[in-house]
Structure 1
Amino acid sequence: HQQKQPYRQHLISKAPNKNQEKVHLSSSTVSDTHFMYSLLGKRTAQVLWQSSHSSFRMMATQQPARIAVAQMRSTNDKQHNFEQIQTITERAKANDVQFIFFPECCDFVGTHRDETLKLSEPLTGPTVEQYRALARKQNVWLSFGGVHESIIEETGTGQEVKNIYNTHILINNVGELVASYRKLHMFNVITPEFKFRESETVRSGPALVPPVETPIGRIGLQICYDMRFAEASTLLRKQGAEILTYPSAFAVSTGRAHWEVILRARAIENQCFVIAAAQIGFHNKKRESYGHAMVINPWGTILGEAGNQDLDVVVAELDFDKLKSVRANMPCFEHRRDDVYNLSTRVGLAYSQDTAAKEKFSFGGIEIPPNTIFYTSEHCFAFTNIRCVVPGHVLVSTKRVAARLPDLSPAEINDFFQTVCKVEKVAERLYDATSSTVTVQDGPDAGQTVFHVHCHVMPRHVGDFPENDQIYGELNRHDKEPERPRRPVAEMAAEAARFREEMARLGL
């Protein structure tokens, strides 16, 4: 044990009820211990890792970040699936975990497309409400790594569900749904076991979701097949992820070949913890999952792995000093050649008061009122204007103060113009336009008066100026005429709220 080699003890004696098993826990040391136990009615293993020379942290405190990772076998019986979730939650919480991770399809696995659509629910439905109540009751954070979120469409005869999202949700310990991510990559493949086309039922999500701040660290949300696309995990790491999650219902043949290899690769290349909850066994006659739920540290070491049981839970402690050490001693992300290659993303956030509490934005040295900001991305933000040339005239600026476009990094340039395109799309929808003037005054001879890179987005209509290009003269004058009053902040805030609402509706 001085070498910290993992070991397990599994001591089971029969309880009076022949369908149940009594559990005995045994340990040898406080600092290096593995426990295995059986859940009532199910053979279930729990692995508890501790390092005798590690210190842990939980955001503001320096306490252990203890998590549980579930393995289960879902069917089309939603109530039985929830009972599995309850059992795992109760047993994990008894071991003082802060966060429990459940796999893809934890709500159900349908036997065919029509049944899947019929059983799916919106995130406001009874299944997610059960999850929220469970989190409140147990005072624990829960990750449900792939529920079937129904997409309800209006038809001539009423409402109909034709497609769903595969959605990873996080629920905090008071039962609030704090984040949701819709799976990006559709599993349309032919394996030795079966032909599977996820896109026949599931609609792919619109974007990555920025890492979510939680009591155990910043979590990047992914689902199953997403793990094969390394760019997504790299973008999440660049945005601050410390933990990458891959809840899965992985096929058996590909699982044997690739499951551990891919998960360890994602941990090593991004220097993050990887948490992969898993489905296992036959869900129906046509579908079987690989299992092997696991937790991996930033060095690529497997901290714990579930066994072959239908119902299994791995408990692990995440050593963030190890994460810091790995990143400091091998600073790969400082060595990246963004001047030669780089990744960009459509990740962005509708601005909220939660964002305002964490980050302040200024434009040309002036702090922008938080309620007038309607969108943020990794490098940029968008806000309403104090003086408008036309209705809907808004601004996009960079977070970092840079005077001109050539002063921006490749990543900032990509992000800047992607943000401009999104804002233009929403502005045209809100102001019933099909055209826009989009312009950057880059330098004083081009009319720039605020030496902080920004773009004017102005929806256009036929006849809004006698001569179309007169808008440029008006743009050059609009902030220099003292008699032109500034808009009230309340008016700008109301407009920003409309932009936020429309961007959320469009999934931007």
Structure 2
Amino acid sequence: MLFYQRLKRFVSGTVSKSHFRSFNHSLRMSSNQASKVIAIGQMCATNNKAHNMQQVEELFRKAKTQSAKFLFLPECCDFVGEHRKQTLELAEPLEGATMTQYKELAKTHQMWVSLGGIHESILDANNDKTDKIYNTHVLVNDLGEVVSIYRKLHLFDVETEEMRFRESDVVTPGPHLVAPVNTPIGLLGMQICYDLRFGEASSLLRKLGAQILTYPSAFAYSTGKAHWEVLLRARAIENQSYVIAAAQKGAHNSKRTSWGHALVVDPWGKVLANCEEQDLAIATAEIDLNKNVSVQKNMPVFQHKRNDVYSLTSFGMGTVDITQDHQFAKNIIKKETIFYETEHCFAFTNLRCVVEGHVLVSTKRVTQRLDNLLCHEICDLFSTVCKVQRMLEKFYQTTSATVTVQDGPDAGQTVPHVHFHILPRRPRDFSENDHIYTRMDDRCLDQPDRSLEDRIMEAQKYRDFMKGQ
């Protein structure tokens, strides 16, 4: 079964939106790679941005001499501020000078680069800096183009006997995971540092097709000494994927020191490369996706997961760019009339509407009853319904909606496929509120079918609106 459609990235200003991609192209990616040598970088950034850029340039040169085609840089590769005010002052938007230099380096060296965590200014409506930033992982290709943007989800707010650090004092958490990105070395899942401690995110990325998980970091010395390698190897083993973790190392200032030991781990949990305690260094490794295949074939743990008992669902990872038609019982819903889809669901415009904006959300798997759905389908379906409802209320500037499912023929279901009706409501749109349910009976609808052109135009309006959200 084809779970995902090809990923396409949209980057508008500082907003990144992702698509699903075909899961079964991974072996093709493996055989077509001209070079699979990657380099992990280790450095010690300070509040001197010019000196930090010199370190990055040196890491590019070192990677080039080792014939690497992909360089992974650590979190805070742009700078490490000494206090909140300085961090806000030094931060830049993604269109800033520092990002421009990074892109030029990638283009000059003809090398993909993972910028493992830069301080991205959050701008207000006047394009002025606010008092918050994002911790942002940016992927740039060998043409110097931004391919993907991920903003750190989990913020490091920790207070122990040895240290106190509150990342949330200055950083706003990212809104969602980003689907694995198609790169020359395979499908790459993007994370940052403290995200490493949240195995759910890595499992979701693996479920979405990730072959390589990335954890660029500035791991604190004390926690790094205790947990760094253990956690990285655990993520590799449980997800049967490569793990790549560039790292900061050394004293950034009098208050902050990082552990270092940048690592590459294979899908069996074997450490392939380690920068250990070197100050400014790279280590190289070869990515062989056949290793993923053999490990997953010999121990198919993801096939053994009990999706009937538990599940993981990622919210906010749907797409408005639809690449194929979907089946609705015995009917085929044209892709042009579908305005949103997730891993297990799709939303589309209706053939006959009870009210303006009456749309449907259905499961991709053809099944007649709600009680036939698996845990992950239930989660995905209901979260999709809620998202579409919110969108419709904003689009039509309403504050209420009727959301209903006719579960079985005796409940009025005329299409034997699980689906929700979402109907924006206006004041006094029916003389009696519950008359809407009578009108939903197809036998009571006297209006003709809407034209395909009308439904396509409506779907496009919703897609455009959702892109702008």
**Is 1:498 paired with 2:464?**
yes
Aligned residues of 1:383 and 1:394 also touching (Cα < 8 A)? yes
Q: Which has the greater radius of gyration?
A: 1
User: What secondary structure is seen at the aligned counterpart in 2 of 1:196?
Assistant: strand
Contact 2:236 2:267 in 1 (8 A): yes
Structure 1 equivalent of residue 18 of structure 2: none
Task: State the one-letter code of the partner of 2:403.
Answer: V
Higher mean alpha-carbon deviation, 136-145 vs 65-74, is at: 136-145
Specify which of 369, 375, 400 is matched with residue 435 of structure 1.
400
CA contact (8 A) 1:234 1:270 kept: yes
- Letter paired with 1:196: F
Alignment partner, residue 295 of structure 1: 264
Q: 2:178 aligns with which of 209, 227, 236?
A: 209
Within 5 A, what are the aligned runs for 1:211-290? Answer: 211-290=180-259
Matches within 5 A, 1:164-183: 164-183=133-152
Deviation of 1:262 after TM superposition, in Å, equals 0.6
- Identity level (%): 53
What is the correspondence of 1:10-29 to structure 2 with a 5 Å cutoff? Answer: none
Residues 1:453 and 2:418 are matched in the alignment: yes
Provide the TM-score with structure 2 as the length reference: 0.88
Structure 1 pair 369–59 and aligned structure 2 pair: CA distance change class (3 A): farther
Find the counterpart in structure 1 of residue 167 from structure 2.
Answer: 198
Secondary structure in 1 aligned to 2:402? strand
Worse-matched range after superposition: 239-248 or 306-315: 306-315
What residue is the counterpart of 1:6 in the other structure?
A: none
User: Which residue of structure 2 lines up, in the alignment, with residue 66 of structure 1?
Assistant: 37
Q: Deviations over 1:340-398 (max 9, x none)?
A: 2222221413322xx62xx5533335444434433322211223334332233222222
How far is 1:420 from its partner? 0.9
* Residue 313 (structure 1) aligns with: 282
Q: Which runs of 5+ in 1 are unaligned?
A: 1-55
Aligned pairs for 1:80-229 within 5 A: 80-154=51-125, 159-229=128-198
Q: Is the 8 A contact 1:153 1:162 kept in 2?
A: no
1:121 and 1:150 in contact (8 A); partners too: yes
Q: Which residues of 2 match residues 13-52 of structure 1 at below 5 A?
A: none
Counterpart CA distance in 2 for 1:308 and 1:77 is 22
Structure 1 distance, partners of 2:87, 2:375, is 43
What per-residue deviation string (whole Å, max 9, x for no partner) do you get for residues 200-246 of structure 1? 11111122222222221111111111111111111111121111111
CA distance in 2, matches of 1:349, 1:126: 32
Q: Which moved more, 1:365-374 or 1:302-311?
A: 365-374
Which amino acid counterpart does residue 135 of structure 1 have in structure 2?
A: A
Following superposition, the deviation at residue 338 of structure 1 comes to 2.1
How far off its partner does 1:414 sit? Answer: 0.9
Report the TM-score when normalising by structure 1: 0.82
8 Å contact from structure 1 (residues 245, 275) kept in 2: yes
Aligned residue for 1:24?
none
Aligned residues of 1:68 and 1:101 also touching (Cα < 8 A): yes
Query: Do residues 485 (structure 1) and 456 (structure 2) align?
Result: no
Structure 2 segments unaligned to the other structure (5+ residues): 1-26
Does residue 420 (structure 1) correspond to residue 385 (structure 2)? The answer is yes
Q: Report what 2:22 is aligned to.
A: none
Task: Give the structure 2 partner of residue 338 of structure 1.
Answer: 307
Structure 2 residue matching 1:226: 3-state secondary structure: helix
Call closer, same or farther: CA 1:411–1:282 in 2, change over 3 Å: same
CA distance in 2, matches of 1:240, 1:478: 44
CA contact (8 A) 2:35 2:69 kept: no
Aligned residues: 442
Other-structure match for 2:21: none
The alignment partner of 2:124 has SS state of strand
Q: Is the 8 A contact 1:347 1:378 kept in 2?
A: no
- For 2:166 and 2:47, locate their aligned partners in 1 and report how far apart those are by CA, in whole Å: 19
What is the RMSD computed on CA atoms of the aligned residues? 2.2
Q: Judging changes above 3 Å, is the alpha-carbon distance between structure 1 residues 88 and 371 closer, same or farther for their aligned structure 2 residues?
A: farther
